Amino acid sequence: MVAESSSQTAGGAGPLAGVRIVEFAGIGPGPFACMMLADMGAEVVTLDRIGSARNLKGIAERGRKWVHVDLKDVNSIGEVLELLCAADALIEGFRPGVMERLGLGPDVVLSRNPGLVYGRMTGWGQSGPLANAAGHDINYISITGALAAIGPRERPVPPLNLVGDFGGGALYLLVGVLAALMEAKKSGRGQVVDAAMCDGAASLMTMFFDLSASGKWVEGREQNMLDGGAHFYGAFECACGNFVSIGSIEPQFYALLRQHAGLLDSEFDAQMDPVAWPNLKQKLAAVFKSKTREEWCKIMEGTDVCFAPVLTMAEASHHKHMVSRQAFLTRHGVLQPAPAPRFSRTPSMVRDPEELPLASVVQRWKDHR
């Protein structure tokens, strides 16, 4: 079981303590990136529209100082500019041109605070023929080759919104902002970080473009080792209706799979023959269907077969390994992933959101600039 956590995890203030970030409220990857920055100790002040309500239980909202502001009001824009003059970074996820129309574009803000890192999170990027079009994760990864490679032969399947929004979006924004902050410490100059989900998703496909260039990747789903084509790399249903996963790629791991699954048929000698994969996959599926997930865990879990049970989100927090690493926590009755990655000396912390008036934040940041 996962115990109810206090407002923070035990430990220090995080590796980003002292870094000040202004977030313009949005949805998806921007807030997720700011959650991670806040977990790592940055002071994140989120500017949201007047009348918006905070959800104390919201996972991605944790750790922020929330400020209500009218971005259509000239005086409020003036206060925002004052706040940005004392900030290290800005993160926004509007369509291209919105911040400029508000009078908060990079030219204006960087002229007042030349050392500011200006992080921009979009799906299509700040330029290009689709820059101003609406879209979602599934669209952004569609033009990168990623979506076409995921799913059964019949059709592509959305990999949740992990590849575009969070992998190619939030994490690339995070890396870009942190890199720009490091450079700004040396040069004293900030810059714009144009983080586009389509760029990030394309970058995540690097290994597969490499495999394709070396003739080790075939266009088409379920025809390659890592896309469900191979019998030794995939998920299999058990007698109980649950699933297990195997990734027995290396010869020594494949030998262990054969040993623990009782694969004595000489046909299984042809591990790396793609022509044999469909038949071997069918035979292996029948073997896994002969026992329950729990029985297979007793046989294979913890061995070098490269095996794991396929768990639901509700089950994941109870797995012995995840419990041992305290990978999940419960806050305000809500189960959620704990901060990652882990730091040996300045551990991340989970803090509750806090609402403050804009003027008080501006004054405090100015006083401690």
List of domains in the chain: 20-206+340-367 (3.40.50.10540), 233-322 (3.30.1540.10)
Taking only Cα atoms into account, the Rg of the chain, rounded to an integer number of angstroms, comes to: 24
- Averaged pLDDT of the chain: 95
Q: Residue 8: its pLDDT value, please?
A: 42
What is the sign of the dihedral through the CA atoms of 115, 116, 122 and 128?
negative
Cis ω for the linkage preceding 274 (within 30 of 0): no
Identify residue 44 by its one-letter amino acid code.
V
With a cut of 60, say whether residue 30 has pLDDT above it: yes
**Residue 79 and residue 284: Cα distance in Å, rounded?**
65
Please report the beta strands in the chain, taking only residues with DSSP state E, as ranges in sequence order: 20-24, 43-48, 64-68, 89-92, 117-122, 191-196, 233-237, 243-247, 307-310, 328-331, 334-337, 354-355
Give me the residues paired with residue 91 across strands: 23, 119
List pLDDT tens digits, range 292-343.
999 999 999 999 999 999 999 999 999 999 999 999 999 999 999 999 999 9
Task: Based on the residue annotation, tell me whether 165 is a catalytic residue of this protein.
Answer: yes
Nearest of 3, 9, 1, 5 to residue 347 by alpha carbon = 9
pTM: 0.94
Give the tokens for residue 206.
Answer: 């690097």
By mean pLDDT, which of 5-9, 172-176, 238-242, 245-249 is the weakest? 5-9
CB under 8 A, 24+ apart: contacts of 334-343: 334/57, 334/59, 335/2, 336/59, 337/59, 338/9, 339/9, 339/36, 339/39, 339/40, 343/14, 343/15, 343/40
Q: Do residues 112 and 81 lie in contact, with contact meaning Cβ atoms separated by under 8 Å?
A: yes
Q: Degrees (nearest 5) of the Cα angle 219, 169, 96?
A: 110
Name the least confident of 6-15, 131-140, 173-182, 360-369. Answer: 6-15
Q: Which of the residues 48, 165, 199, 227 is marked catalytic? A: 165
pLDDT tens digits, residue range 313-327? 999 999 999 999 999
Q: Which two tokens stand for residue 135?
A: 């879209």
CA distance linking residue 333 with residue 359, whole number of Å: 33
Residue 226: DSSP 8-state: T
Evaluate if residue 3 carries a pLDDT over 60.
Answer: no
What SS3 state is found at 66? strand
Choosing from 136, 260, 319, 332, the catalytic residue is 136
Question: What is d(CA 223, CA 212) in angstroms, rounded to the nearest whole number?
Answer: 13
Reported confidence tier of residue 53, pLDDT bands at 50, 70, 90: confident
